[in-house]
Structures are given as structure tokens and as C-alpha cells.
Amino acid sequence: MTGLLTRLGARLDTWGGAAKMARFRTGWAATATPQVRFYRTAKVQYRYLEAGSGPTIVFTCDPPMTIEVYGPLVAAFAQHFRVIVVELPAMGFSATTNAYGFGFRETNDDLAALLRAVAGEGSIFAFSCAASLAALDIAARMPELASHLALMQAGGTEAFAIWKAGRDPKGILARPVFGQIVMARMAPKRMPQWYSLSVGRKEQIPHFCACAERSFKQGAMWSLASAYQIYMDARDELPRPNQPILSIWGASDRSHPADNAHSLARLYGGVQTVTFDDLGHTPELEAPDLVLAAIRDFVGKP
């Protein structure tokens, strides 16, 4: 019964996918930000942005962030890299088919299909938060797709189990169906609280909130309950990929316990670390120039 309810809950977050895909391709999501594009895989119509030239670096939007807040980052990085920013399945405006079930390997394989087609081989994975698990898994199983991993607020399976428990102490989002219904109703209200907890440079919170509010009004998704219940379900730690790994940590992020900082370096050997004391959960958005300098140094780009 639990499995059936979990699948039913996931369907609530993917319902009406075909209509969403059509609306996003032709409506606000297609025109709000220059250089936005769409790419359709077997299960997902990804919304992404591409700009600049040089080595390819791929950022994943950490919801409720959407592409709309990445302008300063793109401007900074596009001077040195070909920048791709992608919204994850059933997050932002990356609509999915009803066949998508939020599975860990399912999600990562589908994301890898996008990366292979759009980014090509040898990209730098600059994935954030739970998407870092996808970066580790894809880089280990499909090493040709990644040259380096520069991961923000990243951790292994155990670290994210701790993070998930801290963010949902009453187990509301972990309850199939109920969690999805609550999240759909709470998302706009939860957003200011989330930013207050996670952002280090507090003067940026009004801008982040305004962008997210506008995106929600246009149909942006934040399928956190399904991600909690399925994608981030308990599993063994992932094997270490062979690529060089950089762990970037914003120490003013109060959404993660302090013990989670640079847990990748404790889990795997040879992980480089950079800490920004005054930045929070999305250091790449709060101070793009600082993160750019760290990544350029990591990949050896002058």
C-alpha cells in the first residue's frame, strides 16, 4: 500500500504534464529570460539557458530558484565558459510526463540524456544541494560526460538524510499524497522562510523572493515532497567518481547542520574545499565572482 500511495503522490506532481509543456514552450517561461531554450527527453521537457563560449560548465537550479535569478552568474561566468543553467525535472518550468516517477537512477539517467545532447562530453558539473548526488552518480557511471565536479552545499547520502530530517522534522513532506498536497499549498508561503534560513547575504532576500513569487504565479513547480519521498530515499553511499572534486560551502546557510559542511571531503579522498563564511545555501548566486574565481582556480583556467 505504501508503494501505491507513493506513486499516487508523485502523480500529483506530474499531472497535466503535456499541457504544461505546451504552455511553457509558448508562454511566459519561454520569453521571460533571454537565451532560454527547451529540450525534450523521454520523460522531461527541460528548461535551460545557454550563454558564452569556452569550456562548458553546467549549473542546476536549486528550487524555488529558477533561471530568472541567474543573470549575474551567467554574466560573470560567460566571460570564461560556455554556461548552461538547467531546471531539474518537475522543478521550475521543467515539466514531465506522467511516466516520470522521481526515481534516483531514473532521474539521473534522464538528466544525463540532456547533458549528453546539450552540454556534450567533458563538462564541469557545478551542481547544487541534492543535485550533487546526481553529479556524483552520473560522473561515476558515465565518466565521459564530466571533466570536473564543483559542487555547492553538497554531501553524500547520509548527509542528505540528516538534512532532510532537519527540514521536515514532523515528517509532513515524507507522507505520500498528504505531503504533495501540503507542499502545493505551502510553497509560496514557505519560500520567504526558506530564504531567511538559507541565504547568507540578507539584503538579497527581497530580490530572490520577488523572482520566486513571479515564477510561482506563472506555474513554476517545486515538487519537494516527491523528491523527499522517492529521489532522496535511503540508499548506500555512492562510489567516488574519478574526476577531481571541489566542495564549495556557504557557512551562513542555516538550512544545513554545521556538521554537514564539506562532508564530501570526509567521505571521499582528494576532495578540495573552499568555504565562504558570509554566504549561504546558494553561494554561486550570492557572490558569483567569488565562486567563479574558486572554480577557475580549481579547473586551472587563467
| 224-278 tens-digit pLDDT | 999 999 999 877 899 999 999 999 999 999 998 888 999 999 999 999 999 999 9
Which residues, in sequence order, are CB contacts of 26 under 8 Å at separation 6+? Answer: none
- Percentage of the chain lying above the pLDDT 90 cut: 84
107-142 as b/e, with b when 16 or more CB fall inside 10 Å? bbbbbbbbbbebbeeebbbbbbbbbbbbbbbbbeeb
Q: How many CB atoms lie within 10 A of CB 259?
A: 10
| Phi-psi map region of 298: left, alpha, beta (phi>0 left; psi -120 to 50 alpha) | alpha
Cell numbers given for 161: 538524510
- Identify the band that residue 107 occupies on the pLDDT scale cut at 50, 70 and 90: very high
Q: What is the mean pLDDT of residues 218-224?
A: 94
pLDDT higher than 90, residue 75: yes
- Identify the band that residue 1 occupies on the pLDDT scale cut at 50, 70 and 90: very low
pLDDT at 150: 98
Does CATH number 3.40.50.1820 belong to domain 2-299?
A: yes
Phi first, then psi, for residue 211 (nearest 5°) are -65, -45
pLDDT at 165: 85
Torsion of CA 15, 17, 116, 268, to 10 degrees: -20
pLDDT digits (tens, 9 = 90+) for 163-207: 888 888 888 889 999 999 988 887 777 788 889 999 999 999 999
Cα of first residue to Cα of last residue in the chain, in angstroms, is 56
Cell numbers given for 239: 562510489
Q: Where are the domains of the chain?
A: 2-299
pLDDT at 302: 61
Q: What is the mean pLDDT of residues 111-125?
A: 98
pLDDT higher than 60, residue 156: yes
- Point out the least confidently predicted range of 29-43, 107-121, 192-206: 192-206
